[in-house]
Structure 1
Amino acid sequence: MRLPRLTGSVLSGLHCFLIAADQMSFTRAAEMLCLTQSAVSHKIKNLEAALGVTLFIRQPRKLVLTEEGKRLKEVVAHNFGDIANELRDLKTQELSGDLNVSVPPTFAQRWLMPRLKSFIEKYPALRFHLRTRNELVDFQTESFDCAIYFGDGKYNGLHVVQLMDESMVPVCSHDYAIAHDLYGNPEKLVSCLLLHDAAPWARAGRNDEWQYWAHQNDVALPEAGCTFDRADLALQAAERGIGVAIGRASFIAEQIASGRLVTPFPLAVPSPQHYYLVCRKDMADSPRIKAFIDWLVENGGVVARN
């Protein structure tokens, strides 16, 4: 592979190559780059000519990277990532620019949103972008600065800060508890409809949260149940007298205080999962992320550092 001059054409070709190598499709790369498929193919051919190597083996229905292509993809991805991070840091040294954060939906609604105003007011030049999802972030291909996870804290290759602990307890409406004689009688759960958060943490099964609580308290559970893809939906169903949900302490304080939800028996258990802030290791010293962590500390969201 000969060393070409890094002209605009070569740099453009390298960017096009990286997208095509990620997608393994000139058609999908063209869609992402807002180009035609033939324009992408032309850029790759020009880059191959400039380097003096073949980067793709073009088969009838798929692309295959050559060994040279694999080497180049690794180098370009690493260096383009460093450039992108440096450009973002140049923009945010004075806490201006964008902070892109991924957060689990119910955590965002029940914990973060009631407190977020103070963060916005403290850093008015910092544009906060919140996206909610239960899935983990791919920091190599997605443009998030950091994410909050509910899980076990084992996130290889990432910088991890442990946030608050969690506990969980069954909750329902007062009327439902009366109708099913639940007050002080956890054994009566076998005649109830259980409301499940189907994705309480990444790669969890739909019954995992309830099963963990039941195992800790030696309580039998019924087979029947309803599932929801967000914990707040299960809690809303519990408020409306549909059944019994697992409530996390950080989510249910307001409903318990107002009487919209009750805990029919005091059998809360510490959750095996905790909340964590994660980011790329090379972003751990970013002023934006440090500001967000400091704000979490001020608002009681951090109990330990990893």
Structure 2
Amino acid sequence: MRLPRLTGSVLSGLHCFLIAADQMSFTRAAELLCLTQSAVSHKIKNLEETLGVKLFIRQPRKLVLTDEGKRLKEVVAHNFGDIANELRDLKTLDLSGDLNVSVPPTFAQCWLVPRLKSFVEKYPALRFHLRTRNELVDFQTESFDCAIYFGNGKYQGLHVSKIMDESIIPVCSHEYAVEHGLYGNPAKLSSCLLLHDAAPWARAGRNDEWQYWAQQNGVALAEAGCTFDRADLALQAAERGIGVAMGRASFVTEQLASGRLVAPFTLSVTSPQSYYLVCRKEMATSPRIKAFIDWLEEIK
């Protein structure tokens, strides 16, 4: 058997030969390869001519491997198996190791963690490490691979991928809404206790989110209020009937559906801030970060 050059045609022929030798049928090989039976037969014939040996004995209703065909099948199966295993290993290497992510606390608790199971199941070799904080990450001195920010998307020197927009609307318990006459009457907010997320986004003031909503709707707000360093704490306080919190749509869907919270008036406003994934520019092509971004795109 003379040694041929491993051209694309020869490699394609070897693959076709291996499938046909496994199935011992050109017809079944054609089905597996999404080819016609004549195309498979043609590939095998060209391979036999290139190699200068006969690989199959074609008998009525069946194929029989020649001695040369048996030898070639063993070699090709072994080497194609090695190639397939190596390709799987390379893919696993790309999506293994550690992925360290910084996420705002309430986003992590109310949106990300409830959906995280599908990500860890999709990439079992990837070790996912979640840390929560409201502050921006210093990627020069901290060991985070990427971070999710709620902000304006302007993060100098970093790669930025927008995840999703947000909308905001006041929420409270049904009992609180009835007691203060809030249903259909946003002017009554002036006599309510407002519950503030003290850090809705990096460098925000404690009442910036409420003020933005009020300005968009021409509503006067009460001066009195309570502040919390996490939005989910403000929402829990609203559930307990303490006051009215500013709800983000991505955080309050479940509570509104169950009735634990109500939106006493339909004055939803698109937030001036959105969710972004950020990382160092040189890390933007990292398979781990790309996999995380693609997954976020799928589930949002």
Is the pair's TM-score, using the shorter chain for normalization, greater than 0.5? Answer: yes
CA shift in 2, pair 1:91/1:202, >3 Å: farther
Kindly indicate whether residue 197 of structure 2 is the aligned counterpart of residue 181 of structure 1.
no
1:118 correspondence with 2:122: no
Give runs of aligned pairs for residues 206-285 of structure 1, distance below 5 A.
206-285=206-285
Instruction: Please say if residues 100 and 128 of structure 2, whose CA atoms lie closer than 8 Å, have aligned partners that are also in contact.
Output: yes
Q: Aligned partners of 1:215, 1:93: CA distance in 2, in Å?
A: 51
- Residue 230 of structure 1: CA displacement? 0.3
* Post-superposition offset of 1:91: 11
* Distance in 2 (alpha carbons) for counterparts of 1:260 and 1:146: 34
Matched to 1:148, the amino acid is I
- Provide the secondary structure at the position in 1 that maps to 2:234: helix
Secondary structure of the structure 2 residue equivalent to 1:169: strand
Rg larger for:
2
Which residue is 1:168 aligned to? 168
TM-score by structure 2 length?
Answer: 0.69
Listed one character per residue, the Cα deviations across residues 229-274 of structure 1 (whole Å, up to 9, x for unaligned) are 0000000000000000000000000000000000000000000000
Distance 1:136 1:276 in 2: 12
| C-alpha separation in 2, matches of 1:152 and 1:181 | 35
Contact 1:93 1:287 in 2 (8 A): no
| Deviation for aligned residue 1:298 | 1.1
Offset of 1:93 from its aligned partner? 3.8
Partner in structure 2 of residue 194 of structure 1: 194
Could you say what secondary structure the match of 2:227 adopts? strand
Deviation digits for residues 74-93 of structure 1 (CA, Å, limit 9, x no counterpart)? xxxxxxxxxxxxxxxx9984
Secondary structure (helix, strand or coil) at the match of 1:163 reads strand
Gaps of 5+ in 1: 1-89, 301-306
Count of residue pairs the alignment pairs up: 211
Deviations 1:87-142 (A, max 9, x none): xxx99843111000000000000110110000000000100000000000000000
Determine the C-alpha separation between the residues in 2 that align with 1:274 and 1:298. Answer: 17
What is the TM-score with the length of structure 1 in the denominator? 0.68
Taking the aligned partners of 1:93 and 1:211, their CA distance within structure 2 comes to 48
Q: Tell me, what secondary structure is at the counterpart of 2:210?
A: helix
1:154-174 deviations in whole A, cap 9, x for unaligned?
000000001100000000000
1:54 aligned partner: none
* Residues 195, 245 of structure 1: 8 Å contact kept: yes
For residues 198 and 92 of structure 1, do their structure 2 counterparts lie closer, same or farther at Cα, with a shift above 3 Å needed? farther
Summarize the alignment of residues 122-137 of structure 1 with structure 2, pairs less than 5 Å apart: 122-137=122-137
Identity of aligned residues (%): 83
The answer (yes or no) to whether the contact 1:103–1:131 under 8 Å persists in 2 is: yes
CA contact 2:198–2:230 (8 Å) conserved in 1? yes
Q: Aligned with 2:195: secondary structure? A: strand
Q: Distance in 2 between matches of 1:101 and 1:273?
A: 20
Q: Secondary structure at the match of 2:261?
A: coil
Contact 1:177–1:264 (CA<8 Å) still a contact in 2?
yes
Distance 1:125 1:219 in 2: 51
Q: Secondary structure at the match of 1:261?
A: coil
Q: Deviations over 1:259-301 (max 9, x none)?
A: 000000000000000000000000000010000011111112x
- The amino acid that maps onto 2:234 is A
Quick check: 2:92–2:125 contact (8 Å CA) kept in 1? no
Q: For 1:206-243, what per-residue CA distance to the aligned partner results, in whole angstroms no more than 9, with x for missing partners?
A: 01000000000000001000000000000000000000
Q: Secondary structure at the match of 1:113?
A: helix
Q: How does 1:1-306 map to 2 (within 5 A)?
A: 93-300=93-300
For the residues of structure 1 that align with 2:112 and 2:291, how far apart are their CA atoms?
A: 15
